[in-house]
Structure 1
Amino acid sequence: MFTGWEAHRAAVDTLVQSYRAIPRGDRVRLAKKTSNLFRPRAASTGPGLDVTGLDGVIAIDIDARTADVQGVCTYEDLVDAVLPHDLIPYVVPQLRTITLGGAVTGLGIESTSFRNGLPHESVLEMDILTGDGQIVTATPDGPHADLFEAFPNSYGSLGYATRLRIKLEHVPQLVTLRHVQMADAAAAVAAIEQICETGEYLGQRVDGLDGTAFTPDEIYLTLAHFTDEPQHVSDYTGQQVYYRSIAQRETDALTMYDYLWRWDTDWFWCSGAFGAQQPLIRRLWPRRWRRSDVFHQIVGLDERFGIIATLDRLKKVPGRERVIQDIEVPADRLPEFLEWFDAEIGMRPVWLCPLRTTGSWPAYPLATGETYINVGFWGTVVVPADAPPGLVNRKVEQVVSGLGGHKSLYSEAFYDHETFETMYGGKALEDVRRRYDPDARLSTLYEKAVRNS
């Protein structure tokens, strides 16, 4: 977990040496076996960047509330290192195995994003391996400020973070929850806006805010209050399933640790697809295997062996498309999006997570200070046998763009090049690429996100 500065420098040397071993003219990519991406990636036939030893915490400054963290360190390992000191990152993405570098270069979000923005907004400085093989230290106001600003949402197209210095937030060890049912999406938006402005709801401070929309008429906002007040806490790592409790309990309490990973145990609600929410199967399913990375591996096995496709043929299902997306729309457009989504997609529950950004980031341009709602939906839909690739996902892209929103690029994307460049800071990223990757050793963001190269 802890690596220290000497081990970190040795790991960076290994990384740089692996860069130099990649033949001139070959594209540079990570030699990383695991991923939280849900889009295909081109198979690498040659050597890649060796990130061995870049997966730990280098140092923690408890007084300054900062941590120096390696780029491939998971949030699970980071939380294990800092929470005993009553500290957590400003934003802890929902899944344990998301890495610090991945959350910054690929964006992450969670319930503190309504007040703390996205993970990159609490980064103080980064060491980045650029496309020309150099390690540069990027800060908001230093000589590499252009790289610092363009790096979020660049998905490795501008380089890879080897070290990040991040701010930490002091927290107590318990969290109380209020699951407040809203009359409809418009009422949910009104409550979200009020909480974003005041930081409280009905007189109580709100430290974390997200929502679960089970049906158009059953939407809950979950209001988290961080506290040291002793109380009985629930355990959703056993037989009980967290998301079901939202509609069953008006109030609840968790340890801070369990709150941070409340969605990971059942991969939100997606564990149900594997039978892991059935009481008998759940009793037999070891706790250590009830986690998102295990479920992700099961999905990978299905993609490899075509189990669901075989079952679909037996059931005479004409076709199936994977619709796994997180999108952001301005808060006031949420009711419109959900109305369209229910009519055209019909996938429930969906996750709602408000956010406000504090700066301008060219690769994911959101209006500073404006409230956006992240809508997460993950599953499959039946499509006609002759449906073109991405039929449903293309519709999602068009509607989200029309509502002034964006979608995250961790999953499949189908934009044409011109539209993509307009939406995701094409010119700004190209200017930075020319400075730090003059020989185009790295794939562009469009090549990574759309062409999967």
Structure 2
Amino acid sequence: MGTSKSDYSMMENLKAKAIRWLEDNRGLVIVLFCLPASFLFDCGIQLRCWLRRLLFSAPKDHSKRVKTIQKYVQNWNKLPEDERKLMCTAKPNWLSLSVTFYEKSKCYQVPIDLFDILELNEEAMTIKVEPNVSVHEMTKFLIPKGYTLAVTLEIGDATAGGLAFGVGMTTYSHKVGLYQETIISYDVVTADGSLIHVTADNEHSDLFYCLPWSHGTLGFLVALELKLIKVKPYVHMKYIPVHSQEEYCHKMMELSGALDKDFAVPDYLEATIYDKENAVIMVGNFADVDTFSKRMKVNHITQWYKPWFYKHVEKYLHKSGEEYIPIREYLLRHNRAIFWVVESMIPFGNHPIFRFFLGWLCPPKPAFLKFTTTQAVREMTFAKQVFQDIVMPLNTLKDQVNTAIDLFETFPLLVYPCRIYDHHRGPQGQLRAPKKDQQTPGTNFAMFNDLGVYGTPGQVKNRQPYNPTKAMRAMEQFTRDVEGYAFLYADIFMTEEEFNQMFDMTLYNDVRKRYNCDGAFPRLYDKVKPEIDVIKIGESYAN
């Protein structure tokens, strides 16, 4: 017997009411179900990692493990051509920090069981690691020795390999550039199963410049060597309130060194914009805490009962201030609230009572959230949230902020200054060399910035019409107009033609031919585009 129109209408009505109830009570649902489940899930993951390290960790066996990976690829090459699927890693989608779900089930999956720190070279100030070593693990290993990565992402679950083949930047990037600028070498298994050592000045230099932003479409990363910097135990943080858009735009240009290459820039620099005219600029420098007065200003910001970092910073909108933050806590300062995304999930999450009793459960683990994401949840979160990082010239910051406000009506906004280099070669990978008139006089770099837009758009909060596809396509058009770049871990809304306008694919295409990637690995656009129909979903939620 078929379903009548009235039954169908009733089911749709119940579905709409259920979705509305979940939206209105999302925080309660997450606290009662997701946080405990996430905690148990993470305990299982940590136990798995501990057992894996206890039983299998052995840096001396690195070569043996790499040979196993080579064997997988060589076996793929032995298959008849019509039976070969595109290759990818066997790492589950839910362990990736990307918001998309690439269809790995259609691929030939190669296990990359590489989780070890291989070598610390204190003389050369480098560390060699396998690709699945996390930021948590690297900071825990390095900081007691007085070092950290030159670019240390704030999210502890990010991995060395994910950042190398994706992108990473931090508040030190105004001094050193993107994560890719801190990579000395890559060890890569290519499409024919060969192991090659890739540097900027050997026979694989073209590949060296294309591996960043390639998202695993040119080979399998099995090790990389990264630059280190020396640190002190604390960061002396100064909070500077700014009350006009013109002023915070100018100050970020000045403090980052964009205007004068000889300006004494701070070790760490960022801004959090709380509305169009009001922001807090944070200036941090390495420090020792060696007096009583300094010890009285120490703030352990990552303790579970402390305010979320961006909420802590917000109190400096009305007065300047300073404090000393332990270096590892500073580096992971945004981990507990995932910048400010957790507020969209748990609106009362920063309340002192919640923090004291349940703050230790936060944040919900990204792996758990992805592991439990259904198609319906994926579509709903895509349509009702924005999570974007975009790299654009810092001298366009005013227009960046105004465009983001017009399209998304959400605050805060994050600003990290970052150098983009001209390496004085032809095509230099997916990022073009900055124009001469953008570059800081007397240097080979231009100052760009990451604009971070995270959370629930104001239109959604106010239950006004909101088309996520229209908004994001407008933001992407603005990004192309100012010659910036969208981070590819987030959803993109561009056609392939528009994607090829934003990124320079000239050298990438040459490298794919030279290393026989066509037919072996997916193309970059196909790897990073959303697995859902963004146009259809955007229109359906807008109506």
- 1:294 aligns with 365
Q: Secondary structure of the residue that 1:443 maps to in structure 2?
A: coil
In structure 2, relative to structure 1, the CA distance for the partners of 1:300 and 1:273 (3 Å cut) is farther
Shift of 1:204: 7.7
Larger gyration radius, structure 1 or structure 2: 2
User: How far is the alpha carbon of 1:56 from its aligned partner?
Assistant: 1.8
- 1:9 aligned partner: 63
Is the CA contact 1:205–1:225 (under 8 Å) kept in the aligned structure 2?
A: no
Q: Do the aligned residues in 2 keep the contact of 1:267 with 1:295 (CA within 8 Å)?
A: no
Question: What RMSD, in angstroms, separates the aligned Cα atoms of the two structures?
Answer: 2.8
- 1:410 is displaced (CA, Å) by 0.7
Please report how far the alpha carbon of residue 173 of structure 1 lies from its aligned counterpart in structure 2 after TM superposition.
0.7
Alignment correspondent of 1:434: 513
Aligned to 2:448: 372
Q: Which moved more, 1:297-306 or 1:350-359?
A: 297-306
Q: Which amino acid is 2:430 matched to?
A: A
Distance 2:482 2:89 in 1: 35
Identity, % of aligned positions: 20
In structure 2, give the amino acid aligned to 1:238.
W
Confirm whether residue 49 of structure 1 aligns to residue 110 of structure 2: yes
Partner residue of 1:280 out of 345, 348, 353: 353
Contact 2:258–2:447 (Cα < 8 Å) also in 1: no
**1:268 maps to 2:339:** yes
Q: TM-score, normalised by structure 1?
A: 0.89
- Taking the aligned partners of 2:139 and 2:452, their CA distance within structure 1 comes to 24
Corresponding residue to 1:183 among 243, 247, 250: 243
What does residue 40 of structure 1 align with?
A: 101
C-alpha distance in 2 between matches for 1:119 and 1:427: 22
| SS of 2:197 mapped into structure 1 | strand
| 1:87-120 superposed Cα distances (whole Å, 9 cap, x missing partner) | 1110001111111111121110100000011111
Amino acid at match of 1:92: T
Q: Distance in 1 between the 2:494 and 2:305 partners?
A: 42
- In 1: Cα distance, 2:464 partner to 2:245 partner: 34
Give how far 1:205 is off.
Answer: 5.7
Do the aligned partners of residues 442 and 295 (structure 1) sit closer, same or farther apart at CA in structure 2, a change above 3 Å counting?
A: closer
How much has 1:265 moved relative to structure 2?
1.4
Is contact 1:152-1:364 (8 Å) kept?
Answer: no
1:64: Cα distance to partner?
2.0
Q: How does 1:49-448 map to 2 (within 5 A)?
A: 49-52=110-113, 54-197=114-257, 206-230=266-290, 231-232=294-295, 233-236=298-301, 237-240=303-306, 241-249=308-316, 250-275=321-346, 276-285=349-358, 287=360, 289-291=361-363, 294-295=365-366, 297-298=368-369, 300-303=371-374, 306=377, 309=380, 320-360=383-423, 361-367=428-434, 368-381=444-457, 390-448=469-527
1:274 to partner: Cα distance = 3.1
- Counterpart amino acid of residue 403 in structure 1: V
Aligned residues: 440
More helix per residue: 2
- Contact 1:321–1:392 (Cα < 8 Å) also in 2: no
- The 10-residue stretch of structure 1 (93-102 or 387-396) with the greater mean CA deviation from structure 2: 387-396
CA distance in 2, matches of 1:295, 1:135: 32
**How big is the shift at 1:163?**
0.7
Instruction: Pick closer, same or farther for the CA change 1:32–1:299 going to 2, 3 Å.
Output: closer
TM-score under structure 2 length normalisation: 0.75
Q: CA deviation at 1:386?
A: 9.8
- In the other structure, the counterpart of 2:89 is 30
1:298: Cα distance to partner?
A: 3.0
Q: Deviations over 1:404-450 (max 9, x none)?
A: 22211111112222221232222211100001125421001111122
**Partner AA of 1:407 in structure 2:** A
Give me the whole-angstrom Cα distance separating, in 2, the residues matched to 1:42 and 1:400. Answer: 28
- Does the 8 Å contact 2:419/2:445 carry over to 1? yes
**Cα deviation code 1:146-197 (max 9, x no counterpart):** 1001111111111232111111111111111111112333322222222222
**Offset at residue 215 of structure 1 (A):** 0.6
Change (3 A) 1:281 1:303: farther
| Amino acid paired to 2:304 | G
Q: Which moved more, 1:188-197 or 1:91-100?
A: 188-197
Give me the whole-angstrom Cα distance separating, in 2, the residues matched to 1:400 and 1:372. 12
Unpaired runs of 5+ in structure 1? Answer: 313-318
Structure 2: distance between partners of 1:219 and 1:389: 26
Deviation string 1:384-407 (CA, Å, 9 cap, x unpaired) is 999877222111101121222221
